[in-house]
Structure 1
Amino acid sequence: MNANKRNVTSYFQTLFSTFSSLPGFAAALNCTSPTPESLFAALETNVFSKKLLRPVKNFSSPVYITIDITVVGLVGVDEKAQTLTSVLWLVLEWDIEGLSWEEKECGSKRVSIPRDKLWIPDIHIAEFMDEDKFPKTPFVYLYNTGHVLDDKPIRVVTSCRLNIYTFPFDIQNCSLTFGSYLHFASDIRLLQGSTAEQILTESRDVLVTNGDWELIGIDVSFSTLALDLGSYSEIEFYVVLRRRPSLYVVNLLIPSCFLITVDLFSFMLPLDSVDRSSFKMTLILGYTVFLLIMNDLLPASGETTPLINVFFSINLALMVASLLETVIIVRIQHIFGKYRPMPRWVSVFVLQYLSAVVCLPRQTISTRSTFFINPSTREQTPSSSSISASRLDHVSDEAPPGKPSSLLEDPALQELRKLSRDLEAIRRQTDEHFQGNRNTQEWRMVGAVIDRLLFGAYILFIVVSFIVIIWIWSWSHAA
């Protein structure tokens, strides 16, 4: 009877030793006393010596890793390098199959274990671009149920496909793909810990560094990376960020709108004034200096051109076009008006049709003028004080009929003849002068019509451009 009992006991001991020698298997711990030394001695025998193996009973069973993250800080976004720098709390949880101990027997429900004493999954971020420079955490928690909690902060620089077309009202969606670098899905499978809403709420509560960005959403999805050798289990966290545009609106958009408004009001300056051209040139130089100073605030990316750069280019192009329009009108008035008579088609097309379009009525140009010999006679009637050129024509070198030829030798008559010739020359020069003034006035009217037409086109283009750009920004911001 005793021999049979010894045989049965020996059989069970052999069977127990056989199962204990299986890869990754851990039995219930027996502590000699409720002290840390006793617990660690039991862990050293049953757990620490098998840290090179996955904590499963057989190789066909996968280890289920639960992943949970919390966004602690948004350090920065580099548009040129297309990277996102963030600080995360990464929580990994898994179970060591078969491991357990009694809390009363061993004196503790959980214990901190050095990281290098346990098997740790090789979880990495697929978008990782730089070395993790955050301080390392050397310990993990091990519970009496065999549950392992690995909670550590990490500073990650990840690649992110940034779309800065709608800068500074852009919204970025950056992904963080967690997965095993070596183990296939048959060895390690990833599970989601908290829901996306819980992660977002906790992240907003603990977020301490965000800079220009605001965390507006977090999404979670599962995926499988299939390769020739096998498939990998992955879990993706999508971090949705929105840029705070107030800094860029105050420093970039509002000053640019002020300068373009001043250029718009420069059309009120007289056309024949030299100050108008110099004023517009000063505005262009000031706007160029403004863009050079604010160049550091603008994003630099070779993939897409931000809409705000197009906005600034349009403003600069409008200012240059306004200056060129002023130069052309000045040339029309001061060059063509002096040396070239106005063609008939220009007078009809511009002064009749375009002037009606821009609501600028054609002014009546008078060529009739009266000349006075003595300024004191201006208040007299024209019939008594003015000298008629037709009357001067009757003064000739021949004596009137019925008069003696001796009158030809009269000195007074000779002076009258000389005065007649001088007045005739003055009259002809005066007619030519006022004919030139008429051409000048007509060319000035053409310049005024063109200026009014381009002013209307200037306003229309600015309004349409602003509406389109604001609509694109609003649509993208709402999306």
Structure 2
Amino acid sequence: MTGVKTAGSIFICFSLLQGFVAALNCTSPTPGALFDALDKELFSKKRLRPVKSFSDSMNVNISIVVVGIVGVDEQAQSLTSFLWQVLEWNIAGLSWDEKECGTKRVSILREDIWVPDIRIGEFMDEDVSPQTPYVYLYNTGRVYDDKPLRVVSTCRLVIYTFPFDVQNCSLTFGSYLHVAEDIKIFPRFTAAQVLAESKQSIQTQGEWELVDVKADSANLDIPDGSYSEIKYYLILRRRPLLYVVNLLIPSCFLITVDLFSFLLPPQSVDRSSFKMTLILGYTVFLLIMNDLLPVTGSATPLINVFFSVSLALMVASLLETVFITNIQFSSSQYSAVPNWLSLLVLRYLAIVVCLPPKKKSNRVTVCLQPSREMDTGIIPSKDLQSVSSEKPQEKTPSDPALDELKTLSRDLTAIRLQVDKHFQGSNTSQEWLMIGIVVDRLLFGMYIVFISACFITIVCIWLWSNLENP
């Protein structure tokens, strides 16, 4: 009896060492015989994790292939992608002879065996992936589970450099329930191999381009234990051609037209109306193209700043035109130009804007018989009448030619005084007009410098962002 018990114990221990199930014995090399053996040894134990003992951990190899980038929702901060997920694991102790059972590989229902509960941590929508009910089972006990996934995952989108933005979205694969002592996850291929395979298999040629794939294995530590995880980082770059053609180039064209509108004469009213029409057209352009701009509350895209600066520059150029036009048309009503303003604008700023001041005329008006009327600048009309109607008190013989010359001299004196007064006002107007021209050219130069600085700054930020995230 003792020997029988010892033999039984040895048989039980040997069976445990053989693993979860024993090697299959097929009565014939037919599918029916193989499935009968699987039903007896494997399918009936599908509720148990297929390991030799509960203390053993199961190693699961995972690999993914990115088949398509369906879309990116900036407002919902989500990424929709289409993947092929491949899981591989071993059923401890399961094997059969290829010649005895007739095949080395057979497809079985996923519901008939134990399957690891691998899920994506960033999943945020209902799983509408295509259903694949079968897996491959090899004669070595290796299970090959290949299925497609339509993943709607969370992704922290940074659209500051839109449309030249690069996004880094992560997909974390791990067990939903089993800790690392039960299931350990390992990558089947390196990140470079996943990237190469994805670029060959990707089907979409839409707005987004897959630039790089990175992988990182880590354990998620919690108070009750740790979970084995693999995190894949999908580096996506937006194709900016659509936005450059439809948004940036038209905006630059309108800014250029507004810039060249400074070549119109400032005294023309058409310049103001042209700029107002240009601002109206730019506003309509922004309203039409508003649907192409991303909508998010996290940050303001740089392109929105670009459009705001462009509109602000157009409004500033219109206000400058209104100011210069007011000077051109209302300068006759202004008082004399202050000396400090004349010195600052006409002597210094005129040189800066390449408008050298005009030299004053050296012509001197000489009056042979100055009178009180000449000092005051105006001869009253009644005085002119009295002078012209004055008769000599002395009755002396007079020459008609001499009388005509005296009358002509008085008339020319009155005319000269009126002309001097007119030119005195004209000189003041000319100084104000010259100040307006100098200020107009100065603001035109500042407009060019500011536009160039803004455009160069924005382009440098875009380029720096692309170099930082190649």
**What is the TM-score of this pair, normalised by structure 2?**
0.88
**Are residues 1:58 and 2:53 paired?**
yes
- Conserved 8 A contact 2:18-2:93: no
Q: 308, 315, 337: which is aligned to 1:342?
A: 337
Counterpart Cα distance in 1 of 2:14 and 2:291: 67
Instruction: State the match for 1:473 in structure 2.
Output: 462
Counterpart Cα distance in 2 of 1:142 and 1:15: 31
- Conserved 8 A contact 2:67-2:84: yes
Counterpart Cα distance in 1 of 2:178 and 2:216: 20
Counterpart Cα distance in 1 of 2:34 and 2:43: 12
1:60-115 deviation line (CA, Å, top 9, x unaligned): 11111101000000011111211111000000000000111111111111111111
3-state SS, counterpart of residue 81 of structure 2: strand
- Conserved 8 A contact 1:75-1:210: no
Counterpart Cα distance in 2 of 1:99 and 1:297: 57
Instruction: State the match for 1:460 in structure 2.
Output: 449
Counterpart Cα distance in 1 of 2:205 and 2:12: 56
- Conserved 8 A contact 1:399-1:405: no
Instruction: State the match for 1:442 in structure 2.
Output: 431
3-state SS, counterpart of residue 351 of structure 1: helix
**Change in 2 beyond 3 A, CA 1:168/1:159:** same
* Superposition deviation, residue 422 in structure 1: 6.8
3-state SS, counterpart of residue 462 of structure 1: helix
Q: 418, 421, 440: which is aligned to 1:451?
A: 440
Counterpart Cα distance in 1 of 2:221 and 2:173: 15
Instruction: State the match for 1:431 in structure 2.
Output: 420
Instruction: State the match for 1:229 in structure 2.
Output: 224
Instruction: Please give the residue correspondences for 1:130-141 in structure 2 after superposition, counting only pairs within 5 Å.
Output: 130-141=125-136
Instruction: State the match for 1:379 in structure 2.
Output: none
Counterpart Cα distance in 2 of 1:337 and 1:83: 65
Instruction: Please give the residue correspondences for 1:291-330 in structure 2 after superposition, counting only pairs within 5 Å.
Output: 291-330=286-325
Q: 101, 110, 126: which is aligned to 1:115?
A: 110
Counterpart Cα distance in 2 of 1:294 and 1:475: 26
Q: 64, 73, 79: which is aligned to 1:78?
A: 73
Instruction: State the match for 1:404 in structure 2.
Output: 395
1:97-150 deviation line (CA, Å, top 9, x unaligned): 011111111111111111111111111111111122121100111111111111
Q: Which moved more, 1:437-446 or 1:276-285?
A: 437-446
- Conserved 8 A contact 1:395-1:420: no
Q: Which moved more, 1:222-231 or 1:332-341?
A: 332-341
Counterpart Cα distance in 1 of 2:17 and 2:46: 13
* Superposition deviation, residue 415 in structure 1: 13
**Change in 2 beyond 3 A, CA 1:209/1:144:** same
1:239-262 deviation line (CA, Å, top 9, x unaligned): 111111111111111111111111
Counterpart Cα distance in 1 of 2:320 and 2:364: 35
**Change in 2 beyond 3 A, CA 1:102/1:117:** same
3-state SS, counterpart of residue 426 of structure 2: helix
* Superposition deviation, residue 41 in structure 1: 1.1
Count of residue correspondences: 451
Give the aligned residue type for 1:176: L
Give the aligned residue type for 1:476: S
Counterpart Cα distance in 2 of 1:406 and 1:424: 26
Counterpart Cα distance in 1 of 2:212 and 2:173: 18
- Conserved 8 A contact 2:110-2:135: yes
Instruction: State the match for 1:171 in structure 2.
Output: 166
Q: 144, 147, 150: which is aligned to 1:149?
A: 144
3-state SS, counterpart of residue 32 of structure 1: coil
Counterpart Cα distance in 2 of 1:460 and 1:267: 14
Q: 247, 272, 278: which is aligned to 1:283?
A: 278
Q: Which moved more, 1:147-156 or 1:72-81?
A: 72-81
Counterpart Cα distance in 1 of 2:78 and 2:9: 58
- Conserved 8 A contact 1:341-1:439: yes
**Are residues 1:45 and 2:40 paired?**
yes
Counterpart Cα distance in 2 of 1:414 and 1:115: 130
**What is the TM-score of this pair, normalised by structure 1?**
0.87
Counterpart Cα distance in 1 of 2:441 and 2:68: 55
Instruction: State the match for 2:378 in structure 1.
Output: none
Question: In angstroms, what is the RMSD of aligned CA positions?
Answer: 3.1
Give the aligned residue type for 1:123: I
**Change in 2 beyond 3 A, CA 1:119/1:414:** same
Structure 2 residue runs without a partner (length 5+): 366-373, 376-382
Give the aligned residue type for 1:150: D
* Superposition deviation, residue 397 in structure 1: 6.0
Counterpart Cα distance in 2 of 1:243 and 1:447: 48
